[in-house]
A and B are shown apart, each in its own frame.
Chain A
Amino acid sequence: MPLMNVFDIAGSGMNAQSLRLNTTASNMANADAASSSINQTYRSRQPVFQAVMEDAAGQYRGVGRSTDPNAIAKVRVLGVVESKAPVRSIHDPSHPLADAKGFVHYPNVNAVEEMANMISASRSYQSNVEVFNASKQMMLRTLTLGQ
């Protein structure tokens, strides 16, 4: 029954988007976490999404694009990568965490990017919820067919 798969698909989408919201929250929370060493400074974390193709029976059919026309695509989080952007190093010898040269290192979190990410993730989550609800309605009406 294809409609049953819709719940899995929307669920995978909600899962991925909520993880994206989590990383955004983590980035925002740590945006000003000072450190005395570049290596120990928090780096902005971003999830990487990947489409996973499965056939109607739920069998794995590869990732990305599939040649199988029946394959349906769920989404999964391939991993979380740390941003390669340079950390912000500010000269502030009076800071308790200043290093030997008087620099304090702040994470490479871009607050504007994170806000845009948050709104995008929240909207995508909502559209998955709508798909879920609409499919539920379709399912329930199908169950009462002929009554």
Chain B
Amino acid sequence: MAINIDTALGIYPHTLRLRAARAEILAANLANSDTPNFKARDLDFQAALARSLAGTLGDSLTLAATRAGHMDGENAQLGGVVRYRNPMQPSIDGNTVETEVEQAEFARNAMHYQATLTFLGGRIKTLMTALRGD
């Protein structure tokens, strides 16, 4: 049986990448908590994970464009899985960031990230044990 690193690590590399992307989006919300007209966004994690597993979610690398008519494939990336948040109490200046909600989501996301890291570490340890054979 061939050892395939991709399948051995399971779902965790996908979730780790998406958790990091989500941390970025939530950090942007918090940084803009006082910016007029800023609309809070979040990652639709389930949809993003489904697309990541199906292989239709590209990473941040853009495609090589060798001719003028080539598109850069932007829509194949996080498009469609980043959504605007529905605020409970939007501000009068058009800002929809609710700091408490964003902080809670960020903390939750960080915990999930750490959990994913632990699971991924376990998978790697398992592989190492299999490789060493002792």
* A interface residues, Cβ below 8 angstroms from B: 1-3, 5-6, 9-10, 12-13, 16-17, 20, 48-51, 55-57, 64-65, 68-70, 72-75, 120-121, 123-124, 127-128, 130-131, 134-135, 137-138, 141-142, 145-147
1/0 contact string of B41-79 vs chain A (CB within 8 Å): 000000000000000000010000000000000110111
Q: Which A residues are CB-close (under 8 A) to B30?
A: 10, 13, 124, 127-128, 131
Contact B103 A68 (CB under 8 A): no
Interface residue from A5, A49, A69, A72 paired with B35 (Cβ < 8 Å): A49
Can you report 5 A-B residue pairs in the complex whose CB atoms are below 8 A from each other?
Answer: A20-B34, A51-B35, A70-B60, A70-B78, A131-B31
Secondary structure class of chain A's binding surface, majority of residues: helix
Complex: A6 Cα to B25 Cα, angstroms = 8
Closest 9 CB pairs of A and B: A13-B31, A56-B60, A146-B124, A73-B28, A49-B35, A2-B20, A69-B79, A6-B27, A9-B27
Contact B31 A75 (CB under 8 A): yes
Contact A145 B117 (CB under 8 A): yes
Indicate if B107 sits at the interface (CB-CB under 8 A): yes
Interface residue from B20, B31, B117 paired with A10 (Cβ < 8 Å): B31
Known: A70-B74, A138-B114, A146-B125. A49 touches B34 (CB 8 A): yes
Instruction: Give chain B nearest CB distance to A6 CB in angstroms.
Output: 4
Complex: A72 Cα to B37 Cα, angstroms = 15
Q: Which A residues are CB-close (under 8 A) to B16?
A: 142
Contact B27 A124 (CB under 8 A): no
Contact A135 B34 (CB under 8 A): no
